[in-house]
Structure 1
Amino acid sequence: MQTADIPALPRGVRLHYDAVRETWVLLAPERAVTLDGIGHAILSAVDGSRSFGDITAHLGQKFNAPAERIAEDSSGFLDALRARRFLDVRA
Structure 2
Amino acid sequence: MNADANPRLSSHFRMQWEDAQQAWVLLYPEGMVKLNASAAEILKRCDGSRDVPALVADLETAFDATGLEPDVRAFLDMARQQQWVA
**What residue number does 1:16 align with?**
16
**Is the contact made by 1:28 and 1:86 (CA closer than 8 Å) also made in structure 2?**
no
| Number of aligned positions between the proteins | 86
Report percent identity of matched pairs: 31
SS at match of 2:16: strand
Structure 1 residues 42 and 53, CA gap change in structure 2 (3 angstroms): same
Q: Deviations over 1:18-77 (max 9, x none)?
A: 1111111112231322111111111111111211111001111111111xx211111111
What 5-or-longer segments of structure 1 have no aligned partner?
none
Runs of 4+ in 1 over 3 A off after TM superposition: none
**What residue number does 2:64 align with?**
64
Between structures 1 and 2, the one with greater helix share: 1
**What residue number does 1:74 align with?**
72
- Paired with 2:43 and 2:70, the residues of 1 have a C-alpha distance of 15
Between structures 1 and 2, the one with greater strand share: 1
